[in-house]
Amino acid sequence: MNILIFGATSAIAAAVAARYAAAENRFYLIARNDEKLTALRERLTESGAGEVETAQADLIRFEEHPALIEAAFTRLQSVDLVLIAHGTLPDQKRCEQDAEAALEALSVNGLSPISLLTELAPRMREQAHGTLAVITSVAGDRGRPSNYVYGSAKAMVSAYLQGLRGKLHGAGVNVIDVRPGLVDSPMTAHLEKGPLFATPDRVAGGIVRAVARNRHTVYVPGWWRIVMAIVRWLPDTIFKRLDF
């Protein structure tokens, strides 16, 4: 399998790559931190990956996306799995007071994945096979006071994925919206951990199963689907009074 990962050094993406490494799969890894990329490449190679190519890039630079994708497809020839896993958890209070911070959060978590998907979709359609998997969040299911800037970015990506899934269905390309809940990772290092937190490896396992089964929208862990169904069901008269 040929695997292309954006945001490859994130905790979840690295865990996904580790699960595929033993099968002698080939990787093209893109991330911002070159040192972390090198370390990940070495770990995957030691674990049995067939070939690991890396590229350092800041994915907020949209103008670089076409060249990044061109290089990846030239190297791999065809791509069986694309995973888009980059993002940040913005400071909600700062975003409420600073429009520039809010727009940056929307760009990183919303517009950047959509820019990549826009460039990737024609190539996936042309090769007529493969999977596009994108990590969004349960936060996108409904805007909550504690993180509605981040949630709105993820909701935008989820809506885009839903439409793209229909566009690519006839071409034999599957599109997966991966919606994790709270994950114990560097991105949430400042948050107090509790029973709702999952490990990156558990989320990675859900992603690998979703790819194998050609799933569409996946909540990981699975019980988040029930939790968010309840959250979506709450009427606004009640929901607006909840501070969470």
pLDDT digits (tens, 9 = 90+) for 51-84: 999 999 999 999 999 999 999 999 999 999 999 9
The total number of structural domains that make up the chain: 1
Position 55 in a domain:
yes
For position 197, what pLDDT does the model report? 84
Q: What is the pLDDT of residue 187?
A: 73
- Name the nearest CA neighbour of 182 among 167, 163, 202: 202
Asked whether the predicted pLDDT for residue 218 surpasses 90, the reply is yes
Q: Cβ(4)–Cβ(76) under 8 Å?
A: yes
DSSP 8-state assignment for residue 30? E
Please check the confidence at residue 186 and state whether its pLDDT lies above 80: no
| 192 compared with 55, residue with greater pLDDT | 55
Query: In the annotation, is 150 catalytic?
Result: yes
Q: Are 69 and 84 in contact (CB under 8 A)?
A: no
Residue 195 has pLDDT above 80, yes or no: no
Mean pLDDT of 167-193: 86
Structural domain including 55 reads: 2-239
Tokens standing for residue 134: 């994108």
Asked whether residue 112 is domain-assigned, the answer is yes
Residue 107 scores a pLDDT above 90: yes
The enclosing domain of 207 has a CATH number of 3.40.50.720
Kindly name the residue from 20, 28, 150, 219 that is annotated as catalytic. Answer: 150
Burial code of 189-224, b = ≥16 C-beta within 10 A, e = fewer?
eeeeeeeeebebebbbbbbbebbeeebebbbbbeeb
The answer to whether residues 134 and 166 touch, using CB atoms and an 8 Å cutoff, is: no
pLDDT above 90: residue 22? no
Under DSSP, the state recorded for 174 is E
User: Rounded mean pLDDT of 11-27?
Assistant: 93
Average pLDDT score over the chain: 94
Quick one: tokens of 199? 């490990």
Question: Edge-to-edge strand order for the sheet containing 51-56?
Answer: 51-56, 26-31, 2-6, 81-84, 131-135, 174-180, 217-220
| In-domain check, residue 198 | yes
| pLDDT reported for residue 194 | 65
Share of the chain above pLDDT 90, in %: 87
Answer whether 130's CB lies under 8 Å from 80's CB.
yes
The answer, as to whether pTM is greater than 0.85, is: yes
* Distance in angstroms (rounded) separating the CA atoms of residues 106 and 156: 9
Q: Is residue 108 domain-resident?
A: yes
Residue 189 has pLDDT above 90, yes or no: no
Parallel, antiparallel, or unpaired for β 174-180 and 217-220?
A: parallel
Residue 28's pLDDT band (boundaries 50, 70, 90)?
very high
pLDDT, residue 180, reads 96
In a domain, 244, yes or no: no
**What tens digit of pLDDT does each residue of 109-161 get?**
999 999 999 999 999 999 999 999 999 999 999 999 999 999 999 999 999 99
Asked if 30 and 68 count as a contact pair (C-beta separation under 8 A), the reply is yes
Length in residues, the chain:
244
Phi, psi of 56 (to 5 degrees): -90, 130
What is the rounded average pLDDT of the residues 184-198?
74
Mean pLDDT of 73-98: 95
220 DSSP β-pair partners: 180
Q: Per-residue pLDDT averaged across 199-213, rounded?
A: 96
